[in-house]
Protein backbone atom coordinates (compact mmCIF):
# COMPACT_ATOMS: atom_id res chain seq x y z
CA UNK A 1 0.00 0.00 0.00
CA UNK A 2 1.72 3.22 -1.09
CA UNK A 3 1.96 6.27 1.13
CA UNK A 4 -0.80 8.78 0.40
CA UNK A 5 1.50 11.78 0.04
CA UNK A 6 4.75 10.86 -1.69
CA UNK A 7 7.90 12.37 -0.17
CA UNK A 8 10.14 12.03 -3.19
CA UNK A 9 9.25 15.41 -4.59
CA UNK A 10 9.25 16.42 -8.22
CA UNK A 11 12.48 18.43 -8.55
CA UNK A 12 10.75 20.80 -10.96
CA UNK A 13 11.45 22.37 -14.31
CA UNK A 14 14.97 23.56 -13.38
CA UNK A 15 16.03 19.93 -13.29
CA UNK A 16 17.48 20.24 -16.77
CA UNK A 17 20.68 21.19 -18.56
CA UNK A 18 21.35 24.87 -19.16
CA UNK A 19 21.69 24.37 -22.89
CA UNK A 20 18.09 23.22 -23.20
CA UNK A 21 17.08 26.70 -22.05
CA UNK A 22 19.54 28.64 -24.19
CA UNK A 23 18.40 26.62 -27.21
CA UNK A 24 14.77 27.27 -26.31
CA UNK A 25 15.44 31.00 -26.36
CA UNK A 26 16.90 30.54 -29.83
CA UNK A 27 13.82 28.63 -31.00
CA UNK A 28 11.57 31.25 -29.39
CA UNK A 29 13.24 34.13 -31.19
CA UNK A 30 12.79 32.49 -34.57
CA UNK A 31 9.37 31.07 -33.90
CA UNK A 32 10.64 27.54 -34.41
CA UNK A 33 7.74 25.57 -33.00
CA UNK A 34 7.11 22.96 -35.65
CA UNK A 35 6.66 19.39 -34.61
CA UNK A 36 9.86 17.63 -33.64
CA UNK A 37 10.34 13.91 -33.10
CA UNK A 38 12.95 12.73 -30.61
CA UNK A 39 13.65 9.12 -29.67
CA UNK A 40 15.46 7.62 -26.69
CA UNK A 41 17.53 4.51 -27.40
CA UNK A 42 20.74 2.75 -26.38
CA UNK A 43 23.62 2.60 -28.79
CA UNK A 44 25.08 -0.83 -28.09
CA UNK A 45 25.10 -3.78 -25.73
CA UNK A 46 28.35 -4.45 -23.85
CA UNK A 47 29.51 -8.00 -23.11
CA UNK A 48 28.08 -7.83 -19.62
CA UNK A 49 24.50 -7.35 -20.86
CA UNK A 50 22.66 -9.62 -23.30
CA UNK A 51 19.60 -7.36 -23.24
CA UNK A 52 18.35 -4.22 -21.55
CA UNK A 53 15.06 -4.01 -19.68
CA UNK A 54 12.93 -0.89 -20.21
CA UNK A 55 11.95 0.96 -17.03
CA UNK A 56 11.17 4.47 -15.85
CA UNK A 57 8.32 5.29 -18.24
CA UNK A 58 5.91 5.89 -15.38
CA UNK A 59 8.17 8.57 -13.86
CA UNK A 60 8.83 10.06 -17.31
CA UNK A 61 5.09 10.49 -17.92
CA UNK A 62 4.63 11.99 -14.46
CA UNK A 63 7.36 14.47 -15.24
CA UNK A 64 5.81 15.47 -18.56
CA UNK A 65 2.36 15.91 -17.03
CA UNK A 66 3.65 18.12 -14.22
CA UNK A 67 6.14 20.18 -16.19
CA UNK A 68 5.83 23.91 -15.55
CA UNK A 69 8.05 26.74 -14.37
CA UNK A 70 7.26 28.40 -11.06
CA UNK A 71 7.65 32.17 -10.81
CA UNK A 72 10.57 31.84 -8.37
CA UNK A 73 12.36 29.63 -10.87
CA UNK A 74 11.84 32.13 -13.67
CA UNK A 75 13.07 34.95 -11.45
CA UNK A 76 16.17 32.95 -10.68
CA UNK A 77 16.76 32.34 -14.40
CA UNK A 78 16.32 36.05 -15.00
CA UNK A 79 19.19 36.69 -12.61
CA UNK A 80 21.58 34.70 -14.80
CA UNK A 81 21.59 37.52 -17.31
CA UNK A 82 21.28 35.13 -20.25
CA UNK A 83 17.59 35.30 -21.00
CA UNK A 84 15.20 37.86 -22.43
CA UNK A 85 12.27 38.73 -20.22
CA UNK A 86 9.74 38.01 -22.99
CA UNK A 87 11.24 34.55 -23.35
CA UNK A 88 10.92 33.91 -19.61
CA UNK A 89 7.32 35.13 -19.71
CA UNK A 90 6.74 32.66 -22.50
CA UNK A 91 8.29 29.87 -20.40
CA UNK A 92 5.76 30.60 -17.64
CA UNK A 93 3.02 29.30 -19.92
CA UNK A 94 4.92 26.33 -21.29
CA UNK A 95 3.34 22.92 -20.77
CA UNK A 96 4.03 19.60 -22.40
CA UNK A 97 1.29 19.18 -24.99
CA UNK A 98 2.85 16.47 -27.12
CA UNK A 99 2.57 12.76 -27.77
CA UNK A 100 4.55 9.92 -26.26
CA UNK A 101 4.93 6.47 -27.76
CA UNK A 102 6.88 3.95 -25.75
CA UNK A 103 7.72 0.35 -25.01
CA UNK A 104 5.92 -0.94 -21.93
CA UNK A 105 8.08 -1.01 -18.81
CA UNK A 106 9.52 -4.47 -18.32
CA UNK A 107 10.13 -5.06 -22.04
CA UNK A 108 13.62 -6.22 -23.08
CA UNK A 109 15.23 -4.02 -25.71
CA UNK A 110 18.37 -3.97 -27.84
CA UNK A 111 20.72 -1.50 -29.51
CA UNK A 112 19.10 1.23 -31.68
CA UNK A 113 15.57 0.31 -30.59
CA UNK A 114 13.66 3.33 -29.30
CA UNK A 115 11.96 2.75 -25.97
CA UNK A 116 10.38 6.20 -26.01
CA UNK A 117 9.41 8.67 -28.72
CA UNK A 118 8.38 12.28 -28.10
CA UNK A 119 6.36 14.05 -30.82
CA UNK A 120 5.80 17.66 -29.81
CA UNK A 121 6.50 21.28 -30.74
CA UNK A 122 10.29 21.59 -30.88
CA UNK A 123 10.75 23.66 -27.68
CA UNK A 124 8.77 21.20 -25.55
CA UNK A 125 10.50 18.19 -27.01
CA UNK A 126 13.93 19.78 -26.52
CA UNK A 127 13.39 21.07 -22.99
CA UNK A 128 12.59 17.65 -21.56
CA UNK A 129 15.71 15.95 -22.94
CA UNK A 130 17.94 15.96 -19.87
CA UNK A 131 15.39 14.85 -17.28
CA UNK A 132 13.83 12.22 -19.58
CA UNK A 133 17.25 10.65 -20.11
CA UNK A 134 18.00 10.96 -16.40
CA UNK A 135 14.79 9.06 -15.53
CA UNK A 136 14.72 6.43 -18.29
CA UNK A 137 18.44 5.74 -18.24
CA UNK A 138 18.72 5.07 -14.54
CA UNK A 139 15.76 2.76 -14.05
CA UNK A 140 16.53 0.86 -17.27
CA UNK A 141 20.15 0.56 -16.09
CA UNK A 142 19.16 -0.97 -12.76
CA UNK A 143 16.31 -3.10 -14.13
CA UNK A 144 18.73 -4.57 -16.69
CA UNK A 145 21.17 -5.52 -13.93
CA UNK A 146 18.47 -6.76 -11.55
CA UNK A 147 17.00 -9.00 -14.27
CA UNK A 148 20.33 -10.80 -14.52
CA UNK A 149 20.30 -11.42 -10.78
CA UNK A 150 16.71 -12.65 -10.91
CA UNK A 151 17.41 -14.99 -13.84
CA UNK A 152 20.40 -16.58 -12.09
CA UNK A 153 18.57 -17.24 -8.82
CA UNK A 154 15.14 -18.68 -9.62
CA UNK A 155 13.15 -19.62 -6.55
CA UNK A 156 15.41 -17.68 -4.21
CA UNK A 157 14.17 -14.71 -2.24
CA UNK A 158 15.84 -11.55 -3.56
CA UNK A 159 15.91 -8.33 -1.58
CA UNK A 160 17.31 -4.97 -2.68
CA UNK A 161 19.72 -3.80 0.04
CA UNK A 162 21.28 -0.93 -1.89
CA UNK A 163 20.06 2.31 -0.37
CA UNK A 164 23.17 3.38 1.48
CA UNK A 165 25.50 3.35 -1.50
CA UNK A 166 22.95 4.22 -4.15
CA UNK A 167 23.75 7.64 -5.56
CA UNK A 168 21.35 9.67 -3.44
CA UNK A 169 17.78 9.25 -2.23
CA UNK A 170 16.12 9.31 -5.63
CA UNK A 171 18.55 6.68 -6.88
CA UNK A 172 17.78 4.46 -3.89
CA UNK A 173 14.02 4.74 -4.41
CA UNK A 174 14.03 4.27 -8.17
CA UNK A 175 16.58 1.46 -7.91
CA UNK A 176 14.26 -0.34 -5.52
CA UNK A 177 11.42 0.12 -8.00
CA UNK A 178 13.54 -1.13 -10.91
CA UNK A 179 14.67 -4.18 -8.92
CA UNK A 180 11.13 -5.10 -7.93
CA UNK A 181 9.92 -4.60 -11.50
CA UNK A 182 12.67 -6.95 -12.73
CA UNK A 183 11.76 -9.76 -10.36
CA UNK A 184 13.06 -8.94 -6.89
CA UNK A 185 10.78 -9.79 -3.98
CA UNK A 186 11.32 -6.87 -1.64
CA UNK A 187 13.46 -3.89 -0.71
CA UNK A 188 14.97 -2.62 2.51
CA UNK A 189 14.52 1.00 1.37
CA UNK A 190 11.52 2.12 3.38
CA UNK A 191 10.78 5.19 1.28
CA UNK A 192 10.60 3.09 -1.89
CA UNK A 193 8.21 0.68 -0.21
CA UNK A 194 6.09 3.62 0.92
CA UNK A 195 6.09 5.27 -2.52
CA UNK A 196 5.41 2.16 -4.59
CA UNK A 197 3.92 -0.46 -2.34
CA UNK A 198 6.98 -2.70 -2.62
CA UNK A 199 7.19 -5.32 0.16
CA UNK A 200 9.57 -4.07 2.87
CA UNK A 201 12.24 -6.36 4.21
CA UNK A 202 15.15 -6.10 6.61
CA UNK A 203 16.94 -7.96 9.34
CA UNK A 204 19.33 -6.42 11.89
CA UNK A 205 22.73 -4.74 11.82
CA UNK A 206 25.95 -5.72 13.54
CA UNK A 207 25.51 -2.69 15.77
CA UNK A 208 22.41 -4.30 17.31
CA UNK A 209 24.52 -7.24 18.38
CA UNK A 210 27.39 -5.03 19.47
CA UNK A 211 25.18 -2.80 21.60
CA UNK A 212 24.28 -5.83 23.73
CA UNK A 213 26.52 -7.55 26.25
CA UNK A 214 26.47 -10.73 24.13
CA UNK A 215 25.02 -12.25 20.99
CA UNK A 216 22.56 -14.58 22.72
CA UNK A 217 20.97 -11.68 24.56
CA UNK A 218 20.78 -9.63 21.35
CA UNK A 219 19.17 -12.51 19.43
CA UNK A 220 16.57 -13.25 22.08
CA UNK A 221 15.75 -9.61 22.47
CA UNK A 222 15.34 -9.06 18.72
CA UNK A 223 13.22 -12.16 18.19
CA UNK A 224 10.86 -11.25 21.01
CA UNK A 225 10.55 -7.72 19.70
CA UNK A 226 9.78 -8.79 16.12
CA UNK A 227 8.25 -12.29 16.39
CA UNK A 228 6.78 -12.15 12.87
CA UNK A 229 10.08 -11.34 11.13
CA UNK A 230 12.98 -12.50 13.25
CA UNK A 231 16.02 -13.02 11.03
CA UNK A 232 19.20 -12.96 13.11
CA UNK A 233 22.55 -11.70 11.88
CA UNK A 234 25.13 -14.24 13.01
CA UNK A 235 28.51 -13.10 11.67
CA UNK A 236 29.45 -10.31 14.06
CA UNK A 237 32.07 -12.40 15.88
CA UNK A 238 32.07 -16.13 14.98
CA UNK A 239 29.42 -17.40 12.60
CA UNK A 240 29.14 -21.04 13.62
CA UNK A 241 29.32 -20.22 17.33
CA UNK A 242 26.47 -17.78 16.79
CA UNK A 243 24.44 -20.43 14.95
CA UNK A 244 24.84 -22.68 17.98
CA UNK A 245 23.57 -19.84 20.20
CA UNK A 246 20.50 -19.54 17.96
CA UNK A 247 19.81 -23.25 18.37
CA UNK A 248 20.24 -23.03 22.13
CA UNK A 249 17.85 -20.11 22.26
CA UNK A 250 15.08 -21.61 20.12
CA UNK A 251 13.28 -23.78 22.71
CA UNK A 252 12.86 -20.91 25.15
CA UNK A 253 11.54 -18.67 22.38
CA UNK A 254 9.21 -21.40 21.16
CA UNK A 255 7.68 -21.57 24.64
CA UNK A 256 6.87 -17.88 24.23
CA UNK A 257 5.37 -18.57 20.80
CA UNK A 258 8.28 -16.96 18.93
CA UNK A 259 9.70 -18.82 15.96
CA UNK A 260 13.12 -17.91 14.55
CA UNK A 261 12.54 -17.33 10.85
CA UNK A 262 16.12 -17.45 9.75
CA UNK A 263 19.68 -16.26 10.00
CA UNK A 264 21.76 -13.91 7.89
CA UNK A 265 25.40 -14.34 6.85
CA UNK A 266 27.21 -11.16 5.77
CA UNK A 267 30.93 -11.96 5.56
CA UNK A 268 33.55 -14.64 4.98
CA UNK A 269 33.17 -17.68 2.70
CA UNK A 270 29.39 -17.61 2.39
CA UNK A 271 29.12 -21.10 0.82
CA UNK A 272 31.25 -22.74 3.51
CA UNK A 273 29.45 -20.93 6.31
CA UNK A 274 26.04 -21.74 4.81
CA UNK A 275 26.84 -25.47 4.73
CA UNK A 276 28.05 -25.47 8.34
CA UNK A 277 25.23 -23.28 9.61
CA UNK A 278 22.61 -25.38 7.79
CA UNK A 279 23.97 -28.47 9.52
CA UNK A 280 23.92 -26.76 12.93
CA UNK A 281 20.36 -25.48 12.44
CA UNK A 282 19.08 -28.82 11.15
CA UNK A 283 20.71 -30.78 13.97
CA UNK A 284 19.19 -28.31 16.41
CA UNK A 285 15.65 -28.80 15.15
CA UNK A 286 15.56 -25.57 13.16
CA UNK A 287 15.14 -27.17 9.76
CA UNK A 288 12.61 -24.55 8.75
CA UNK A 289 14.82 -21.59 9.57
CA UNK A 290 16.13 -20.09 6.36
CA UNK A 291 19.62 -18.89 5.55
CA UNK A 292 19.86 -15.46 3.99
CA UNK A 293 23.16 -14.17 2.60
CA UNK A 294 24.47 -10.69 1.84
CA UNK A 295 27.77 -8.88 1.44
CA UNK A 296 29.20 -7.73 -1.88
CA UNK A 297 26.87 -9.92 -3.93
CA UNK A 298 26.05 -9.66 -7.62
CA UNK A 299 24.80 -12.11 -10.25
CA UNK A 300 28.22 -13.73 -10.60
CA UNK A 301 28.74 -14.25 -6.86
CA UNK A 302 25.21 -15.64 -6.50
CA UNK A 303 25.76 -18.05 -9.39
CA UNK A 304 29.00 -19.27 -7.79
CA UNK A 305 27.20 -19.85 -4.48
CA UNK A 306 24.36 -21.75 -6.11
CA UNK A 307 26.72 -23.79 -8.27
CA UNK A 308 28.62 -24.70 -5.09
CA UNK A 309 25.33 -26.03 -3.73
CA UNK A 310 25.30 -23.52 -0.93
CA UNK A 311 22.06 -23.99 1.04
CA UNK A 312 21.09 -20.33 0.83
CA UNK A 313 17.40 -19.43 0.58
CA UNK A 314 17.67 -15.76 -0.17
CA UNK A 315 20.06 -12.98 -1.05
CA UNK A 316 20.34 -9.34 -0.09
CA UNK A 317 21.91 -7.52 -3.01
CA UNK A 318 23.10 -4.00 -2.47
CA UNK A 319 25.93 -1.85 -3.71
CA UNK A 320 26.91 -3.75 -6.85
CA UNK A 321 23.27 -3.74 -7.97
CA UNK A 322 22.10 -0.25 -7.04
CA UNK A 323 25.16 1.31 -8.67
CA UNK A 324 25.17 -1.19 -11.58
CA UNK A 325 28.84 -1.34 -10.78
CA UNK A 326 30.00 -3.33 -13.81
CA UNK A 327 28.14 -0.89 -16.09
CA UNK A 328 27.41 2.33 -14.19
CA UNK A 329 25.91 3.99 -17.28
CA UNK A 330 24.37 2.98 -20.59
CA UNK A 331 25.54 4.43 -23.87
CA UNK A 332 22.17 5.95 -24.66
CA UNK A 333 20.80 9.06 -26.30
CA UNK A 334 17.69 11.14 -26.95
CA UNK A 335 18.05 12.26 -30.54
CA UNK A 336 16.15 14.42 -32.97
CA UNK A 337 14.80 12.16 -35.71
CA UNK A 338 12.52 14.52 -37.58
CA UNK A 339 11.69 18.22 -37.61
CA UNK A 340 8.89 19.93 -39.52
CA UNK A 341 8.26 16.75 -41.45
CA UNK A 342 11.86 16.26 -42.56
CA UNK A 343 13.99 13.35 -41.36
CA UNK A 344 17.15 14.31 -39.42
CA UNK A 345 20.26 12.35 -38.72
CA UNK A 346 23.48 13.20 -36.91
CA UNK A 347 26.66 11.97 -38.50
CA UNK A 348 29.23 12.79 -35.78
CA UNK A 349 32.07 10.27 -35.98
CA UNK A 350 31.14 7.02 -34.28
CA UNK A 351 27.71 8.33 -33.36
CA UNK A 352 25.63 7.98 -36.54
CA UNK A 353 21.97 7.25 -35.81
CA UNK A 354 18.96 6.02 -37.77
CA UNK A 355 16.54 8.84 -38.70
CA UNK A 356 12.76 9.08 -38.63
CA UNK A 357 9.97 7.72 -36.44
CA UNK A 358 10.54 4.06 -35.71
CA UNK A 359 8.70 0.95 -34.75
CA UNK A 360 10.13 -2.27 -33.33
CA UNK A 361 8.53 -5.53 -34.40
CA UNK A 362 9.31 -8.60 -32.32
CA UNK A 363 8.78 -12.07 -33.75
CA UNK A 364 8.13 -15.17 -31.63
CA UNK A 365 8.67 -18.83 -32.47
CA UNK A 366 6.22 -21.68 -31.88
CA UNK A 367 7.42 -22.03 -28.28
CA UNK A 368 6.71 -18.39 -27.52
CA UNK A 369 10.40 -17.45 -27.52
CA UNK A 370 11.25 -14.22 -29.27
CA UNK A 371 13.50 -14.89 -32.23
CA UNK A 372 14.26 -11.56 -33.85
CA UNK A 373 13.34 -7.88 -34.09
CA UNK A 374 12.81 -5.65 -37.07
CA UNK A 375 13.40 -1.91 -36.87
CA UNK A 376 11.08 -0.17 -39.32
CA UNK A 377 9.63 3.23 -39.96
CA UNK A 378 6.61 3.83 -37.78
CA UNK A 379 4.19 3.62 -40.70
CA UNK A 380 5.57 0.31 -42.05
CA UNK A 381 4.05 -3.03 -41.20
CA UNK A 382 6.11 -6.09 -40.35
CA UNK A 383 5.69 -9.53 -38.88
CA UNK A 384 5.36 -9.82 -35.11
CA UNK A 385 4.28 -7.60 -32.26
CA UNK A 386 4.69 -3.82 -32.47
CA UNK A 387 6.42 -2.78 -29.22
CA UNK A 388 6.27 1.02 -29.41
CA UNK A 389 2.73 2.01 -28.48
CA UNK A 390 0.82 5.20 -27.64
CA UNK A 391 1.38 6.29 -24.04
CA UNK A 392 0.37 9.96 -24.15
CA UNK A 393 -1.59 12.13 -26.58
CA UNK A 394 -1.77 15.90 -26.31
CA UNK A 395 0.09 15.86 -23.00
CA UNK A 396 -2.27 13.38 -21.31
CA UNK A 397 -1.91 9.66 -20.69
CA UNK A 398 -3.96 7.55 -23.08
CA UNK A 399 -4.83 5.14 -20.28
CA UNK A 400 -4.32 4.85 -16.53
CA UNK A 401 -0.84 3.64 -15.62
CA UNK A 402 -0.52 -0.07 -15.02
CA UNK A 403 0.27 -0.73 -11.39
CA UNK A 404 3.78 -1.85 -10.50
CA UNK A 405 2.55 -5.40 -9.87
CA UNK A 406 1.24 -5.58 -13.43
CA UNK A 407 4.49 -4.22 -14.82
CA UNK A 408 6.39 -6.81 -12.80
CA UNK A 409 4.23 -9.61 -14.19
CA UNK A 410 4.78 -8.29 -17.73
CA UNK A 411 8.54 -8.26 -17.12
CA UNK A 412 8.43 -11.83 -15.79
CA UNK A 413 6.69 -13.09 -18.92
CA UNK A 414 8.96 -11.06 -21.18
CA UNK A 415 12.10 -12.42 -19.50
CA UNK A 416 10.73 -15.94 -19.84
CA UNK A 417 10.29 -15.38 -23.56
CA UNK A 418 13.96 -14.49 -24.13
CA UNK A 419 16.13 -17.06 -25.93
CA UNK A 420 17.95 -19.09 -23.30
CA UNK A 421 21.40 -17.86 -24.35
CA UNK A 422 20.30 -14.29 -23.58
CA UNK A 423 19.04 -15.33 -20.15
CA UNK A 424 22.50 -16.49 -19.08
CA UNK A 425 25.42 -14.41 -17.81
CA UNK A 426 27.87 -15.24 -20.60
CA UNK A 427 27.95 -12.93 -23.62
CA UNK A 428 25.42 -14.37 -26.08
CA UNK A 429 25.54 -14.20 -29.87
CA UNK A 430 23.89 -10.95 -30.86
CA UNK A 431 20.12 -11.03 -30.89
CA UNK A 432 19.05 -10.36 -34.50
CA UNK A 433 17.77 -6.82 -35.09
CA UNK A 434 17.17 -6.10 -38.78
CA UNK A 435 16.78 -2.61 -40.22
CA UNK A 436 14.14 -2.23 -42.91
CA UNK A 437 14.99 -1.13 -46.43
CA UNK A 438 12.72 1.89 -46.07
CA UNK A 439 14.71 3.08 -43.05
CA UNK A 440 17.99 2.71 -44.92
CA UNK A 441 16.53 4.74 -47.75
CA UNK A 442 15.39 7.43 -45.32
CA UNK A 443 18.90 7.65 -43.86
CA UNK A 444 20.26 8.41 -47.31
CA UNK A 445 17.58 11.08 -47.78
CA UNK A 446 18.39 12.67 -44.42
CA UNK A 447 22.08 12.84 -45.30
CA UNK A 448 21.24 14.49 -48.61
CA UNK A 449 18.95 17.04 -46.92
CA UNK A 450 21.67 18.07 -44.47
CA UNK A 451 24.18 18.44 -47.24
CA UNK A 452 25.88 15.08 -46.66
Binding to its own copies, residues 361-420 (CB under 8 A): none
Is residue 124 within the footprint of its own copies (CB under 8 A)? no
Is residue 310 within the footprint of its own copies (CB under 8 A)? no
Question: Contact with its own copies (CB under 8 A): which of 50, 140, 144, 203?
Answer: 203
Asked whether the beta carbons of 174 and 198 are under 8 A apart, the reply is: no
Host H or E run for residue 430: none
Host H or E run for residue 389: strand 389-393
CA 445 to chain CA centroid, nearest Å: 36
Q: Is 123 helix (H, G, I), strand (E, B) or coil?
A: helix
Query: Distance between CA atoms of 273 and 268, rounded to whole angstroms?
Result: 8
Nearer to its own copies (CB atom), residue 225 or residue 406: 225
* Cα angle 68-73-329, degrees, rounded to a multiple of 5: 70
Is residue 202 within the footprint of its own copies (CB under 8 A)? yes
Is residue 341 within the footprint of its own copies (CB under 8 A)? no
* Cα angle 223-290-230, degrees, rounded to a multiple of 5: 15
Is residue 46 within the footprint of its own copies (CB under 8 A)? no
Question: Contact with its own copies (CB under 8 A): which of 339, 378, 386, 409?
Answer: 339
Task: Please give the size of the binding site for its own copies, defined by CB under 8 A.
Answer: 116
Query: Distance between CA atoms of 75 and 67, rounded to whole angstroms?
Result: 17
Query: Distance between CA atoms of 165 and 368, rounded to whole angstroms?
Result: 39
Is residue 44 within the footprint of its own copies (CB under 8 A)? no
Nearest to 410 by CA among 400, 399, 402, 401: 402
Chain residues 166-185 in contact with its own copies, contact rule CB under 8 A? 166-175
Nearer to its own copies (CB atom), residue 49 or residue 345: 345
Q: For its own copies, what does the binding mask look like between residues 57 and 86, x meaning CB under 8 A?
A: ---------------xx--xx-xxxx----
Nearer to its own copies (CB atom), residue 99 or residue 266: 266
Name the minimum Å distance from CB 451 to its own copies.
Answer: 6
The residue count for the chain: 452
DSSP bridge pairs for 363: 372
Is residue 268 within the footprint of its own copies (CB under 8 A)? yes
DSSP bridge pairs for 118: 38, 100
Is residue 427 within the footprint of its own copies (CB under 8 A)? no
Chain residues 84-123 in contact with its own copies, contact rule CB under 8 A? 122
Chain residues 129-158 in contact with its own copies, contact rule CB under 8 A? 129-131, 133-135, 137-138, 141
Nearer to its own copies (CB atom), residue 74 or residue 387: 74
Amino acid sequence: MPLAAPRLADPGALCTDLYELTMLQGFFERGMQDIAVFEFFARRLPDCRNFYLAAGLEQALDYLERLRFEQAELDWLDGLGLFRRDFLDHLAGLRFTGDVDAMAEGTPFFADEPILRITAPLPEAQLVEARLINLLHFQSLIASKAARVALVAPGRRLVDFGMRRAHGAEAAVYAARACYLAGFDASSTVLACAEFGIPASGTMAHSFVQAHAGEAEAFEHFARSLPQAAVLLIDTYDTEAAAAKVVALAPRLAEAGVRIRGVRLDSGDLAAHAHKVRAILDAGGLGEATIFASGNLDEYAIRRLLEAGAPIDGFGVGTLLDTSSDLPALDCAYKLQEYAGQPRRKRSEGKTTWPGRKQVWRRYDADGRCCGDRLTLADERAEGVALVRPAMRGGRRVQPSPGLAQVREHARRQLESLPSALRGLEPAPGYPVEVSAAMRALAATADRLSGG
